[in-house]
Amino acid sequence: MAYYPILFLLFLTLPFSSAKLSLDYYKATCPDFDKIVRENVYTKQSAVPATAPGLLRMFFHDCITDGCDASIFISSSAYNPHAERDADLNLSLSGDAFDIVSKIKNALELSCPGIVSCSDIVAQATRDLVKMVGGPYYKVRLGRKDSKVSDAKRVDANLPTTKMTMNQIIDKFAVKNLTIRDMVALTGAHTIGFTHCKEFIHRIYPIIDPTLHPKLALGLRQMCQNYTLDTSMAAFNDVRSPSTFDNAFFKNILKGLGLLTTDYLLSVDPRTRPIVEEYAKDQQAFFIDFAKAMEKVSVLGVKTGHKGEGVDAGRKTLVATTILLFVLSGPVKALTYLMEGGCHGLERAAVAKFP
């Protein structure tokens, strides 16, 4: 049969990875990387404006948990029943965020098969989306490998939540070598996107939190009154310019227009209020600090060398699974699986079911 040499050739074309991050990592191996990411980002964001905040949130959740390693893409399976993707804090991650990464990966596979890691796609696409909606440009170093491990327990252990005190949040960031200033700047990402009612319902029911702006509180009460019947109900984080990356979030929280309790704490805590006031007055200062903080986050816990799986091992997993499917189920199912491998097969290999 002609299928065996096709599958064998896939092994021969697997790339080797460098152990060092660089700005031009794909210059020789995938020269159209920047262009392909940028074009797909533009198309997706133009059609679905929720893509930018969705991927920005996914990027943060992935990187803060155990490093920027695309472990969020590994699905739970019989062998790994509780992957990061199924952690409570990740259940509301945007489907459009997963979709844009998949679209970019598929396009890259046509241009430079087996070269680009999922984690590099997430980092680069996030930067391009932030810039597209009005935010600052920052450098993204490339060459990450993707994780072989994904554990839901690590999400709760690492991610800050909206129910934490300011001390707890500051401590969470400090563990990642992120300063209070970094934390405030990164929270400014709430200038785009939305928050589901369940995250702030305690501020409007049964009584209204007096620190909320009265008009906002009444509007939220009306909007969220049936949130238990429709869990998708949500409010824009920034009531002024919800689709534009700017400094309006900081202006809002100083006026009681923040949705979350943590927004209020940010505006009154003596360690953070001066920074909030600075950003509210000076958008450029916010942009500069946000860019610096994003560069720091983008290299948290990155896997290089033999520390991660990367595209080479990820594709080996995909190809090995494809060959097994070929033997057990025939060429049609095997090649269909291969063509739909998505982010180099990390996710599909985890959920493969054999007859």
List the catalytic residues: 61
Residue 166 contacts residue 269 (beta carbons within 8 Å): yes
The DSSP annotation for 18-29 comes to -SS-BTTTTTTT
Taking the C-alpha atoms of residue 146 and residue 349, their distance in angstroms, rounded to an integer, is: 14
Joined together, the tokens standing for residue 154 give 């690590």
Q: Is 95 annotated as a binding residue?
A: no
Q: How far is CA 220 from the centre of its chain?
A: 27
151 carries a ligand binding annotation: no
Neighbours of 101 (CB within 10 A): 25
Q: Which amino acid is at 147?
A: S
Residue 84 known to bind ligand:
yes
Report whether 62 belongs to an annotated binding site: yes
- Annotated binding residue 282: no
The reply, when asked if residue 199 is annotated as ligand binding, is no
Q: How far is CA 201 from the centre of its chain?
A: 25
**Residue 160 among known ligand-binding residues:** yes
The secondary structure of 39-90 as a DSSP string is: HHHHHHHHH-TTHHHHHHHHHHHHHHHHSSS-GGGPPP-SSSSS-GGGSGGG
The DSSP line for 141-178 is -B--B--S---HHHHHHH---TTS-HHHHHHHHHHTT-
Q: Is 191 marked as a binding-site residue? A: yes
**Residue 59: both structure tokens together:** 């990027």
238 is in an annotated binding site: yes
CA atoms within a 13 Å half-sphere pointing along the CA-CB vector of 111:
18
Answer whether 103's CB lies under 8 Å from 340's CB.
no
Residues 6+ positions from 92 with CB-CB distance below 8 Å: 196
Is residue 309 a known part of a binding site?
A: no
Q: Hey, what are 307's tokens? A: 């520390």
ω before 206 within 30° of 0 (cis)?
A: yes
Binding residues for Ca(2+): 62, 67, 69, 71, 84, 191, 238, 246
Binding residues for substrate: 160
Binding residues: 62, 67, 69, 71, 84, 160, 190-191, 238, 246
